[in-house]
Structure 1
């Protein structure tokens, strides 16, 4: 049986059926490692008065020396720890070691210490990513054709791609501020924006920015990020977006909303140095403009691009035969679930 890590109770069904329990972890490895270490973290730093210790680094966890208390995912020491969902997360961290295999959409070279620790804690943990480099994406029609043709007409590295996935929901004020920043910055942009959020844009915004930008309800994100014209991604630090940017060698300007996104943002900005947190942690007109200027036109931006290019090359090597670190893991996973 193959399940998401959150569905820890599938373990009982697999045991009753006498079949392997294989867990797919859809977030980053650091997030998984945080949940597995929830009891240790609570023991070492406590949960009462936690705001007074939010800048404390988690040096007692291998691979977490640059991670602070405030960066931890929801459900470890923050939010309502007695809610049913967060109790589920806690229980998950306690039982995942009973899985026959846990796999994640990542690659060994990105954080070998955390990979080694997860193997110690779980028994068998493997990286099988980046998945976008291992699988062929089907070319979809409609808006994807128009946006890719538009990108073909733009200069290399000149376009900001903006997208927040299907769950993150910026406020009306943030959508307006982001729209104003894009319009005033002079940077070409491609914005994947759901229709319910598009309604927040000022009247006439899309028409006024024709030629300079496109606002569409959906775009083929992987193909967009891989396009030579895209020079920066403005996103929510969701794990899929982060590793897709890494694989495509595109730096990030991020605004975290929930779950593991604060942790991913810390890794992006302070550990891997492939992007920046938007100024103040929320979208403002000036903060977004500063972020675009930094990434696209400053010496620090050049360094970010160098770093993400280096990790992108490692990501591609991880899936390259015959010796890529993720490729044999992916083949082993297929053998387990198809035999």
Structure 2
């Protein structure tokens, strides 16, 4: 059936592991496919199995068998996984591109997650354009850029983008990356590898839109050909131009969809506090107690996502004691929840996908970042976009229940923050509309690829 279709050209998309990386790249792939492109998404075997129902318009190919070769949690940890993925995945990707060379639709462009810099070498070897796709914000990437040159011990080619008052990033614990050597930690050194070979990229893509990060984009355009092609949110929530596109199609946990939506349907407009810290971040036991107390003290109802690994951190009998006003689930359909009229604010870790979704749906955010780019996103939500508020930590690096409650009340009831949220929702929708900047960029990329 695939051979009978008439495509404009063939694009291969190389996605990194992890929900936060895969979802935006698959959404971009759906958008390309809706415009007549043949799109093959390459990733790990477990991901391809999970994603096959995500879209009938996109082809999924495994280039690494994580069940056999070992995933992130296998022997040797994260670093060993990265080494195996590069050695095996790169060879399989090369063979897959070669296999397409004599077909009706050879690969004309390789879009790769910027966390996989070795893919740019493959694109160059095949003499096809490569596009680096960053799944973090322009601002977060701009904050890493000076560190990259610091590691190289070279002067910056232009002054760093100014973010006064931005705190240094908290770092996740990844011991397998090795012992600290030099000025920057192993995790920062790993992150800065995103900039390796980036000068070879035909385009540098972001899940963002121009008006959202206008000043950062101006700065960054002096370095690369930046194209903001977001928000990469399923089409039904923005422009409805991609048929049946109402979900990402990939969840690390099974969502309690029916229970969540039935419960929300019983609540008044803007009355619910939604709390979720994503698939990777989690609160420590002390902070869970403070969060639980804050939600108990608030007059509003709450929907709190507490992952299976976090259940033991809940105060004793908490679920029973709060059952009259709260619903606690292990996972939920976040898109449907944020789009629901009952939700009044989002208490979030400020991962980039969650941040983009909150902005796209016009939901104010109480930002409690846990590590890395989440710090930058929380800063911009509050200081630049005006749609968020960040609770302050005490001397023990903990945010008290009283402080969380204060910020929730401001997000739920503050007129200024709510007006800003509504305005950004309008601008997000405009960006992906037929004449919006993001859609124009996608058309420009397609035209360039087709012309090759």
- Give the TM-score, by structure 2 length: 0.64
Give the CA deviation at 1:142: 6.3
- Whether contact under 8 Å (1:38, 1:93) holds in the other structure is no
Match of 2:207 among 105, 112, 127: 105
C-alpha change, 1:95 and 1:311, in structure 2 (3 Å) is same
Match of 1:206 in 2: 319
Match of 2:228 in 1: 127
The separation in 2 between residues aligned to 1:28 and 1:229, in whole angstroms, is 28
Give the CA deviation at 1:201: 1.0
Match of 1:307 in 2: 420
**1:24 alignment partner, SS class:** strand
What is the 5 A alignment of 1:266-277? 266-277=379-390
Match of 2:138 in 1: 29
Q: Which runs of 5+ in 1 are unaligned?
A: 47-58
Match of 1:326 in 2: 438
Q: Deviations over 1:11-64 (max 9, x none)?
A: 222222322222111111111222334356899xx9xxxxxxxxxxxx9545x3
- Whether contact under 8 Å (2:359, 2:424) holds in the other structure is yes
RMSD: 3.0
C-alpha change, 1:151 and 1:335, in structure 2 (3 Å) is farther
Match of 1:237 in 2: 350
Give the CA deviation at 1:116: 2.5
Rg comparison, structure with higher value: 2
Matched, 1:70 2:167: yes
The separation in 1 between residues aligned to 2:147 and 2:255, in whole angstroms, is 45
Give the CA deviation at 1:117: 2.5
- Give the TM-score, by structure 1 length: 0.83
The separation in 2 between residues aligned to 1:311 and 1:162, in whole angstroms, is 21
C-alpha change, 1:20 and 1:150, in structure 2 (3 Å) is same
Match of 1:182 in 2: 295
Match of 2:23 in 1: none
The separation in 1 between residues aligned to 2:406 and 2:136, in whole angstroms, is 29
C-alpha change, 1:41 and 1:267, in structure 2 (3 Å) is farther
- Whether contact under 8 Å (2:364, 2:411) holds in the other structure is yes
Give the CA deviation at 1:92: 2.8
The separation in 2 between residues aligned to 1:334 and 1:234, in whole angstroms, is 38
Q: How many residues align?
A: 316
**1:3 alignment partner, SS class:** strand
Q: Deviations over 1:154-174 (max 9, x none)?
A: 111110000001111210111
Give the CA deviation at 1:329: 2.1
C-alpha change, 1:142 and 1:311, in structure 2 (3 Å) is closer
The separation in 2 between residues aligned to 1:237 and 1:142, in whole angstroms, is 20
Match of 2:411 in 1: 295
Match of 2:98 in 1: none
**2:416 alignment partner, SS class:** helix
The separation in 1 between residues aligned to 2:446 and 2:256, in whole angstroms, is 33
Match of 2:257 among 140, 144, 155: 144
**2:112 alignment partner, SS class:** strand
The separation in 1 between residues aligned to 2:442 and 2:448, in whole angstroms, is 10
C-alpha change, 1:335 and 1:236, in structure 2 (3 Å) is farther
- Whether contact under 8 Å (2:255, 2:332) holds in the other structure is no
Match of 1:193 in 2: 306
Give the CA deviation at 1:317: 0.8
Q: Which runs of 5+ in 2 are unaligned?
A: 1-109, 173-179, 237-244
Q: Which moved more, 1:257-266 or 1:279-288?
A: 279-288
- Whether contact under 8 Å (1:67, 1:266) holds in the other structure is no
Q: Deviations over 1:96-129 (max 9, x none)?
A: 222122111111111222223222201x211111
The separation in 1 between residues aligned to 2:115 and 2:276, in whole angstroms, is 25
- Whether contact under 8 Å (2:255, 2:330) holds in the other structure is no
Structure (1 or 2) with the greater helix fraction: 1
